[in-house]
Structure 1
Amino acid sequence: MSAHRWFARAALLCALAAALTPIAAAGLRGAVLLLAVGAGGVVLTVAALYWALTRRGVLRAAAVGVAVVAPLVVVVLFVAAHLLWVVLLAAGFAVLALLAARAALRRPHSPVLEHLAPEAEHPFLIMNPRSGGGKVTKFDLPRRAAELGAEVALLDGPEQIDVVALARAAVARGADLLGVAGGDGTQALVAGVAAEHGLPFLVISAGTRNHFAMDLGLDRADPVAGLTALTDGVELHVDLARINGRPFVNNASFGVYAQIVEDPAYRDDKTRTVLARLPDLLTGPGRTRLTARLPGTEIDAPQAILVSNNPYGSSDLAGLSRRDRLDGGVLGVVAVTVSSTRAALGLLRRTRTRGLTRGLATSVTVEADVPRIPVGVDGESLLLDTPVRCTIEPGALRVRVPGVRVRRRPAEPAVDWVRLLELAGPRRG
């Protein structure tokens, strides 16, 4: 029998053990009380956290107090009833069930197809010495690139330089490869120029986060490794997304996060700005009403929308993790609606009817009740005209990467208990 079938059976047995442990130790009535107390504590804590985010003053302070005290009360009640060990044992079985379920549902990951990379005779690289805390200077990237025959343009002046114009001018002079050592926002703009001219694009992970580099399998702690692709590299043909025509390589965020980041006070005091703005943005009159439209689906009045160049893993709602691949030809869409305490509690179940919508589409249109809205695009705050349209261009970008890259495990699959039952059953045929 396959390992997947054994893992599926182990997951079901551990889940059954987690359910039966309280009954065996405390009886049916005791198990019901355990479940009621534990679930009540979770519900009360989540509700209190929601109130802490959507209220001010005394109500916020009281909600924070409830969110802290509720879990402690639950633990005290379990200890007083001499049942804490039962809860911990059941929780251990539940964790084992989850691990086994993911192992059963995990499938082999097929890597992006690699293509031969023709030698670049006139590579042109744009480097931002201020990005990533000074990685360009720290790793001596300009000198290393020059030694490999690349022309380097440094963004080291106080003035704002148009990197798109800079890249297009290089193409006009005969550049046959474009690259960037900097943040994802700059990467995306220059990648758009490379895609327009059918040129290979080199990613050097010299930014702060460089999620695009991570999803390409590059080592973000070693930007020098990206340069080796100039002499020993392969090409990956990946997708490029656009928002109102502007390219992006990671994601575009609408709603609460984008509006907070747009606030000038956010840079000076992030925590105070978030706490001050959230009540109005989540439930008050200061909230912009958004509507997301994708083929066959309309999402009305979400507080936050994330549109990504290929979907993120099912456990990641904020675009802070990673994508299994960049050549799926689709946009990932995640929308969160938490306009009430009930909706906030419903997020625990992660279902569309309870405040969370996930989807895939080749185009997404976001409408608003105002003519312009703030949007976070690859970490940069922009103000865009509505409606805002996001599209995907499959295989539009030729990315030059080193032949040897970081081997990464794919994102964990979502647990599907119906599928587990099918796997655990006898082999058909």
Structure 2
Amino acid sequence: MTPNVDLPFRPSGRHSLRGRLLTADRRVFEAVAARHWPGADAVLPRLSRAANHGVLWMAGAAALTAARTPRGRRAAARGLASLALASAAINTLGKRTIRRTRPVLDPVPLARRLKRQPFTTSFPSGHAASAAAFAAGVALESRGLGAAVAPVATAVAVSRVYTGVHYPSDVLAGAALGVGAAFAVRGLVPTRDQLPSPGRPHADAPALPAGEGLVVVANRASGTSDRVRALHELLPRAEIVECEPEDVRDELEKAAAHARVLGVCGGDGTVNAAAESAVRHALPLAVVPGGTLNHFAQDLCIEDVRDLARALERGDAVRVDMGRWSTPERDGVFINTFSLGVYPELVRERERWSHRIGAWPAGLLAALKVLRADRHPLEAEIKGRAHPLWLLFAGNGTYHRLGLAPGRRYDLADGKLDVRVVHGGRRPALRLLSAAAAGPLTRSPAHAAVRVRRLRLDGVAPGTLLAYDGEVTEVEGTITLFKQPEALTVYRPLA
């Protein structure tokens, strides 16, 4: 085994490359200590202490999240994930590999020194690694937010030399490790600019300066008031109609009768109803993300009202497919997903609790309740053969997963249904988790995934629950799924 290397304050081997580097490192440290920096004595030591245990960066992440924008939330999550990886690398490898002693504090003025001196080894700087990791993680998600965080991160890194607890090379090595951690996280969970853009096929759609000719129906139950205000500020000539959930379909039909472009603000269920009205009246659709998940808007790269306003003013739009399902008694459309089996039961349970405890806790509670219940798999016939199924999922377009990122669609006009089946068995929870971890086109004894243009299910028992875009209904008998290619024109930013 290679013994730990001890790097003393005054290195031997002055004429070797290593000796010259360590001598230069010491001289820079002493030059910083000797220099008077106006105002720094009151700021940098406090900033250095604030960054202890990542407290400063957790507060920064909270501030980014409080902005209530998808980009801010993603930047906060990426920054904290990068920080966590950098801290783990520092504590498990960095500090134990090179046991360098801390600098001698004699050259450092007393006013600059920390009240509590660190007792760990000096190389590399954990504070600099955390600062660089958080700032780089935020910047990889949003350059603007990264530019705001970078000066604070730089000041924290400089403060470690200024207060005398690290040599400059400790800080530089820590910062390099932090940036590397941020890029490692991006390798596992890609940023949006790494993902292919679902920007085809281009559609001709009217440009609406100031939103003139746009009628937006907003579902009050989705908590859309802040987005409605933002939309009115950006597009003052747009007509906005706010309504209760039970009135959404009627208001959409009224709006479609006189709108040049039909707009909608709400969750995926509300967007589903708007898409159906837009196709029926041959109108382009403008989607304001207003729900909890906003899968359709996210896959269109519409994160907030500004993205949509830019697309409307430029007339940037694409054509997308629409999924359809039908039974002998009724039919419907889906812009995101269709499912039978366990998932519709989970959706129904989630809706029972979401207004009391929030969407995410309700989803977790529903999953625990549904998976623990004593139940039998769904029975259905596919191509004349009976199949017991725990779940049948069909996506309107192929859902992909890159690294550990959640599934999303790159092409909303590929003409395919992304069908995933979890076969019946004695352990539904294990099979469902196995299917969730699998790739988009795989087969195993527990699950299968294929892409098809059409699918027919026979022999579905009465009372079977069906979920489409978060809405739940009961069906029976024969169910047919198919695609309506490029049926809907929808606005999205193309640049």
Per the TM superposition, whether the score is higher than 0.5 is yes
Could you report, residue by residue, the CA deviation over 1:239-294 in whole angstroms, capped at 9, with x for unpaired residues? 011223312111012111212332476546655554344244xxx5x32523263x
* Secondary structure of 1:308's aligned partner: strand
Q: Which residue of 2 aligns with 1:243?
A: 325
Q: Which residue of 2 aligns with 1:114?
A: 202
Taking the TM superposition and a 5 Å limit, the aligned residue runs for 1:17-416 are 111-119=199-207, 122-131=213-222, 134-137=223-226, 140-141=229-230, 143-144=232-233, 147=236, 149-155=237-243, 157=244, 160-161=246-247, 163-172=248-257, 174-218=258-302, 220=303, 222-244=304-326, 245-263=331-349, 267=354, 271=364, 273-280=366-373, 284=374, 286-291=375-380, 293=382, 300-313=387-400, 321-337=407-423, 339-340=425-426, 344=431, 351-404=442-495
Q: Which residue of 2 aligns with 1:89?
A: none
Structure 1 residues 204, 337: closer, same or farther in 2, change over 3 A?
Answer: same
Structure 1 residues 265, 237: closer, same or farther in 2, change over 3 A?
Answer: closer
Structure 1 residues 371, 183: closer, same or farther in 2, change over 3 A?
Answer: same
Structure 1 residues 210, 114: closer, same or farther in 2, change over 3 A?
Answer: same
Structure 1 residues 181, 225: closer, same or farther in 2, change over 3 A?
Answer: same
Q: How much does 1:382 deviate?
A: 2.5
Contact 1:203-1:400 at 8 Å conserved across structures: yes
* Secondary structure of 1:303's aligned partner: strand
Q: How much does 1:352 deviate?
A: 2.5
How many Å separate the matches in 2 of 1:279 and 1:217?
37
* Secondary structure of 1:115's aligned partner: coil
Amino acid at match of 2:368: L
Contact 1:288-1:368 at 8 Å conserved across structures: no
Larger radius of gyration: 2
How many Å separate the matches in 2 of 1:211 and 1:299?
33
How many Å separate the matches in 1 of 2:233 and 2:381?
46
Amino acid at match of 2:397: N
Extract structure 1 runs of 4+ deviating beyond 3 A.
Answer: 106-111, 263-277, 296-299, 314-317, 340-351, 366-369
Gap runs ≥5 in structure 1: 1-95, 405-429
TM-score of the superposition, structure 2-length normalised? Answer: 0.51
Identity of aligned residues (%): 25
Could you report, residue by residue, the CA deviation over 1:79-99 in whole angstroms, capped at 9, with x for unpaired residues? xxxxxxxxxxxxxxxxx9xx8
Contact 2:219-2:266 at 8 Å conserved across structures: yes
Q: Which residue of 1 aligns with 2:29?
A: none
Gap runs ≥5 in structure 2: 1-183, 357-361
How many Å separate the matches in 2 of 1:171 and 1:107?
34
Q: How much does 1:201 deviate?
A: 0.7
Could you report, residue by residue, the CA deviation over 1:170-209 in whole angstroms, capped at 9, with x for unpaired residues? 233x322111111111111111111122211111112211
* Secondary structure of 1:302's aligned partner: strand
TM-score of the superposition, structure 1-length normalised? Answer: 0.58
Q: How much does 1:154 deviate?
A: 0.4
Contact 2:260-2:283 at 8 Å conserved across structures: yes
How many Å separate the matches in 1 of 2:214 and 2:434?
52
| Root mean square deviation of aligned Cα | 3.7
Contact 2:266-2:288 at 8 Å conserved across structures: yes
Contact 1:260-1:266 at 8 Å conserved across structures: no
Contact 1:206-1:223 at 8 Å conserved across structures: no
Task: Pick which of 229-238 and 121-130 moved more.
Answer: 121-130
Amino acid at match of 2:217: I
Contact 1:289-1:368 at 8 Å conserved across structures: no
Could you report, residue by residue, the CA deviation over 1:98-153 in whole angstroms, capped at 9, with x for unpaired residues? x89x9xxx99888413234223552211112432xx34325613523651x22211
How many Å separate the matches in 2 of 1:113 and 1:277?
40
